Amino acid sequence: MPGRTDRRVLALVVAHPDDDAYGLAGTVALHDRDPAFRFVLVHATDGGKGDIAPGFPATPETLGAIRRGEDARAWRALGRVPDRHEWLGYEDGGLDAVPSDELVERLATILAEERPDVVATFGPDGITGHPDHIAIGAATDAAFHRCRQEPGPGFRRLAHGAMPRSVFERWNESRARRGLPTWDPTATYHLRGVPDEEIGITVDVSSVVPRVVAGLREHRSQQHVIVDGGVTDEEWARSASREHLVIAWPPTPPGAARLGSVFEGLVVPD
Ligand SMILES: [Zn+2]
């Protein structure tokens, strides 16, 4: 692990394989030659209860293992694999039934070992309202705040992946134009946006976006959920070229400028 003075450790905690395929993958790709960068990835479930793309050769019995393999291939396709990848092994769709103390404890154990500078996860909207997303996001927040009380490096920023409302509205207009049903932000499993002014970090990942799309493409069992039918690589690249996050901690002063990277502005102690 890089020394304390120059470390840039990022931890991403998500619920399912493919949650990690967009939203932060471009950020990871941007740091692929940075020797101070370390990337820790945590999946709470293997996504074994997910829908299976029509015609895809998987069964409910094999899907979890297949999705773990897809996830590994996706990071290889992106060109920067996680330095550490933990699977917590919970049942897909069941995270909100796991005692939150247990979930927080397991996450805190990993986070305390790594002491990431930045921890990213889902916010209370879960981006799609998925109860697994909301549960893992809340547990990660609690683990972050528990760990940051202990002396040592890291735990400088907690961030929530999010979709700015303006982007959400543009997507919905585009769906309506193509005759597709629009997202209802009050419905579970539908996308939703947060007010644009709540976005604290927007990372321009357009220089690495073909690699992000290559990673997305590896989640073959989920192609029908990840992307609308008929979307071209070009359209996909456009929608994946910016990564947006809300800064959940520390509090940012009102009117603070939006940051351009998850590590921007962090004080590096001696
Ligand atoms: Zn998910």
- Determine the distance separating the centroid of ligand 1 and the alpha carbon of 15, expressed in angstroms: 5
pLDDT tens digits, the chain, 270 residues: what are they?
444 457 899 999 999 999 999 899 999 999 999 999 999 999 999 999 998 888 899 999 999 999 999 999 999 999 999 999 999 999 999 999 999 999 999 999 999 999 999 999 999 999 999 999 999 999 999 999 999 999 999 999 999 999 999 999 998 998 898 888 999 999 999 999 999 999 999 999 999 999 999 999 999 998 877 766 667 777 788 889 999 999 999 999 888 999 999 999 986 554
- Determine the distance separating the centroid of ligand 1 and the alpha carbon of 189, expressed in angstroms: 9
- Determine the distance separating the centroid of ligand 1 and the alpha carbon of 98, expressed in angstroms: 16
Here the tokens at position 43 are: 């999946």
Which ranges in 3-62 belong to alpha helices (H)? 25-30
Q: Can you give the pLDDT at residue 255? A: 84
Q: How far is CA 260 from the centre of its chain?
A: 17
Please list all protein residues whose beta carbon sits less than 5 angstroms from ligand 1, which is an ion: 15-16, 19
Report the C-alpha gap between 13 and 6 in whole angstroms: 23
Report the C-alpha gap between 36 and 38 in whole angstroms: 7
Work out the angle at residue 181's Cα, subtended by the Cα atoms of residues 178 and 187, and round it to the nearest 5 degrees: 150
Q: Can you give the pLDDT at residue 234? A: 79
Smallest CA-to-CA distance from 47 within 70, 28, 13 is with: 70
Distances (CA, A) of 131 to 24, 181, 190, 219, 252: 21, 22, 12, 21, 27
- Determine the distance separating the centroid of ligand 1 and the alpha carbon of 200, expressed in angstroms: 22
- Determine the distance separating the centroid of ligand 1 and the alpha carbon of 222, expressed in angstroms: 11
- Determine the distance separating the centroid of ligand 1 and the alpha carbon of 154, expressed in angstroms: 27
Report the C-alpha gap between 228 and 223 in whole angstroms: 8
Residue 268 burial (C-beta neighbours within 10 Å; 0-12, 13-18, 19+): middle
State pLDDT tens for residues 84-101. 999 999 999 999 999 999
Here the tokens at position 178 are: 């193509």
Q: Can you give the pLDDT at residue 4? A: 46
- Determine the distance separating the centroid of ligand 1 and the alpha carbon of 45, expressed in angstroms: 9
- Determine the distance separating the centroid of ligand 1 and the alpha carbon of 91, expressed in angstroms: 12
